[in-house]
Amino acid sequence: TQLLEQSPQFLSIQEGENLTVYCNSSSVFSSLQWYRQEPGEGPVLLVTVVTGGEVKKLKRLTFQFGDARKDSSLHITAAQPGDTGLYLCAGNNAGKSTFGDGTTLTVKP
Amino acid sequence: DAGVIQSPRHEVTEMGQEVTLRCKPISGHDYLFWYRQTMMRGLELLIYFNNNVPIDDSGMPEDRFSAKMPNASFSTLKIQPSEPRDSAVYFCASSHRTSVQQYFGPGTRLTVT
- Using CA coordinates, name the residue in chain B closest to A47: B101
- Burial call A80-90: b when 16+ CB within 10 Å, e when fewer: eeebbbbbbbb
What pLDDT is recorded for position A2?
61
d(CA B93, CA B44): 12
Residues in chain B closer than 8 A to A99 (CB atoms) = 35, 42-45
pLDDT of the residue at B100:
78
| pLDDT given at position B61 | 87
Over residues A74-103, the pLDDT tens digits come to 999 999 999 999 999 999 887 788 999 999
pLDDT band at A1 (very low <50, low <70, confident <90, very high): low
pLDDT at position B41 is: 87
Q: How far is B21 from chain A (nearest CA, A)?
A: 15
B42, B45, B105 ranked by CB distance to A42: nearest: B105
Tell me the pLDDT of chain A averaged across its residues. 94
| pLDDT for the residue B40 | 87
Q: Using one digit for the tens of pLDDT, what is the confidence trace for B7-23?
A: 999 999 999 999 999 99
Binary contact (A99, B43; C-beta < 8 A): yes
Angle, alpha carbons A105-A40-A5 (nearest 5°)? 40
Position B98 pLDDT exceeds 90: no
Q: pLDDT class for B1, splitting at 50, 70, 90? A: low
B69 touches chain A (CB under 8 A): no
Cis omega (within 30 of 0) on the bond before A8? yes
